[in-house]
Amino acid sequence: MMFSVVARTAFNASRNGVVRAGVVPSFGLAAVQTAEKHTLILVRHGESTWNLENKFTGWVDVPLSPKGHEEVIEAGKLMNEAGLLPEVAFTSLQKRAIRTLWHVLEGTDRMWIPTTKAWQLNERHYGALQGLDKQETVDKYGKDQVLIWRRSYDIPPPVVDRSSPHHPGNDPR
């Protein structure tokens, strides 16, 4: 996911289209008071190859699908047409998010702005579910259990084994 701070109205571009979402109040440190308004732009990465294959992705670093590239190129064009020009950008360490950011920055002619990559912006880690087919997982564990794993904050999915290439300790980033 890419985040940018710019000027007036909130904007969300995703696979589902572009939505304007009203004015966002300014944020800042308690010691700093300002009347300025900022815009937080959230852009979800385009369709990944594993989204296309209906697999749990999480932290597995899979690329965008061809459709995903098209989606985020279009998002950049729409942002540019709307005059939503980021001044700073943040993204995860996942290539699908980084490529999304690159496409959006190219579409807005803002390749020069400061960008920050942080693992804390990675998608949710799906543990041992990563790489599994979503429907097969529902068939095996039940819809309710899979929904709990996907949506809860206090009930994590099954833990991934340390020997798995999907374990975060085996990722050089």
Q: Catalytic site residues?
A: 45, 123
Distance CA 4, CA 66 (A): 24
* Helix, strand, or coil (residue 64): strand
DSSP symbol at 55: B
Query: What is the C-alpha R_g of the chain?
Result: 18
CA 42 remoteness from chain centre: 8
DSSP symbol at 110: -
Backbone angles phi, psi at 11, to 5 degrees: -145, 135
Contact assessment for residue 17 and residue 46, using Cβ atoms and an 8 Å cutoff: no
Q: What separation in angstroms does the CA of 156 have from each of 74, 100, 127, 147? A: 35, 28, 8, 11
* Helix, strand, or coil (residue 17): strand
